[in-house]
Each structure stands twice: as C-alpha cells, then as structure tokens.
Amino acid sequence: MPTSLDWRRDGSAGDPAPCVICGKPAICRSPAGKPVHKVCAEAWIDQRNANKAVA
C-alpha cells in the first residue's frame, strides 16, 4: 500500500527551494525542515521500504 504522509502537525511551508529529492522548487518543508514535495517524500519512503523487503 502506498505511503501517505500527514504533515498537518509537523510540516511547514517556506520560500521555494530545491526539493532534496527531485531538485524542483518546493514550498513544503519536511518535519525536519528540509524542502521536499510531499509526493517525492512518499515515493522515497515506498522505494526504501521495497528495497528493504528485497534485502
């Protein structure tokens, strides 16, 4: 099942900055304060979990 993050409590927004995953401008900030698109973060988590399952 695909990951769906909820950043309503921990996420924030800021000036556009390069997404740490895709490099395109993002206004969303992760709970750690990094600029990232929500969909990029969800895809990264799913890919990481899939790789762990194979290993």
Q: Is the dihedral of CA 22, 28, 32, 38 positive or negative?
A: negative
pLDDT in the model for residue 55 = 65
Contact between residue 34 and residue 41 where contact means Cβ atoms under 8 Å apart: no
Say if residue 14's pLDDT is above 80: yes
Say if residue 35's pLDDT is above 70: yes
Domain ranges of the chain: 12-54
- pLDDT above 70 as % of the chain: 93
d(CA 43, CA 53) in angstroms, rounded, equals: 15
